[in-house]
Amino acid sequence: MSHLWTIGGSTVFLCLIQCIVSLENGLARTPPMGWLAWERFRCNTDCKNDPENCISERLFRTMADLVVSEGYAAAGYEYINVDDCWLEKERSPTGQLVADRARFPRGIKSLSDYIHSKGLKFGIYEDYGNYTCAGYPGVLGYLQTDAETFASWDVDYVKLDGCYAHPSDMDRGYPEFGFNLNQTGKAMIYSCSWPVYQIYAGMQPNYSSIIQHCNLWRNFDDIQDSWASVESIIDYYGNNQDLVVPNAGPGHWNDPDMLIIGNFGLSYEQSKTQMAIWAILAAPLLMSVDLRTIRPEYKAILQNKKIIAVDQDPLGIQGRRIYKHKGIEIWSRPITPLFQNYFSYAIAFVNRRTDGTPSDVAVTLKELGLTSPTGYKVMDLYEDVDYGVLTPQTKIKVKVNPSGVVILRGDVQPDYNRRLPFYTTQKTVYNPLNQVFRVRTNGF
């Protein structure tokens, strides 16, 4: 079905949202991981006075080198993403986007080629509006042209912001740009800011459509370099989990924004908390930090492969806050391996108190929802403590530092010798998108 518009005396046929095919790029089966410039380097365009930190090809080449040489790529971080402020203020005479000629003298294709030569992938930023948030040209009026330009530059990941656009137009516009990306034949992750701008405008986002057309999307505020900002994001996802959790899954993710670990605003304990909760949330892990100066203890958090494995769990089920009382929170995420109708779990105990002393939390596995009679092999993912195989009746006690976290992994144990006759007749069908898990919190 199409509608007829008349613009300036000429007739234009535009396809309605219903006829725009859904995103079928096969990408982001687990949450994307990489490095992103924005939170740490913002819109610093002063390469004359600050050449080491301005938004330039030099910065992105340097960070690509460090992602490889410092072990981040080996841990799973693969995207190097440019954000706002990479453009000239005007398009070319033929309507193409042009990178700032002084700061990107070799052009974006050269930068993309360099990043690919390192075995990494390249991401870029634009905006569904007349301008980007920083006032550079947006894609409005040039959707096909810009999609084809990105494909010609061998872009792997496109973030589309929503400044200088009408939120009511986004239900059509974001799918339309995604359609143009698909039409290029080049598979590109599509990161949308679609729902957050509609939420700010008092609209209820159509998540069914967002899931169809975007690989990831923003729901809430931009992260800032502070613990208060991280806490506000944690609260948003806990308080709105019934709405947002069912939308996450392989190929489409809620995005709570960048990892700010290693910058200025978070303590060591708070940094551990952000990494753990982002893993529970099945969040994209996009570092925004100066990799040239990061301290070893923060680097170790970002490269914690056991917590990364939770984030990258192939089931793609986003976790939930299952307990909240007097500053203590417990978050739970079902993960692999499965044994028949029992999940394994990652469990994060978070201490939001500020009274200066660690808090003890004692709870049985059963109260956490870990009920398999075959038991669970339990490990502490930061301290590398192996608790062995515990039964559902086992009470565990953890000591959680103020604004800190303890994150455990409980892998369900098969017990074929005792349970084989029963389980050979059992089949479990589950849908990660519809999976609901709840535990009783009485008695914590």
Residues with a catalytic annotation lie at: 161, 222
Q: Which residue stretches of 193-247 are H helix?
A: 194-200, 207-213, 227-239, 241-244
Please name the amino acid found at residue 7. I
Buried b (16+ CB within 10 A) or exposed e, 303-328: bbeebbbbbbbebbbbbbbbbbeeeb
Please tell me whether the peptide bond between 93 and the residue prior to it is cis, using omega within 30 degrees of 0: no
Nearest to 366 by CA among 443, 419, 427, 435: 443
356 exposed, middle or buried (CB, 10 Å; 0-12, 13-18, 19+)?
exposed
SS3 content of the chain, % helix, strand, coil (to 5): 30, 25, 45
Q: How many angstroms from the chain centroid is the CA of residue 313? A: 13
Q: How many angstroms from the chain centroid is the CA of residue 378? A: 26
For residue 110, the cross-strand partners are: none
Q: Which residue stretches of 80-226 are H helix?
A: 107-117, 143-152, 170-183, 194-200, 207-213
303 phi and psi, to 5 degrees?
-105, 15
Cβ atoms of 276 and 256 within 8 Å: the answer is: no
Distance in angstroms (rounded) separating the CA atoms of residues 36 and 28? 16
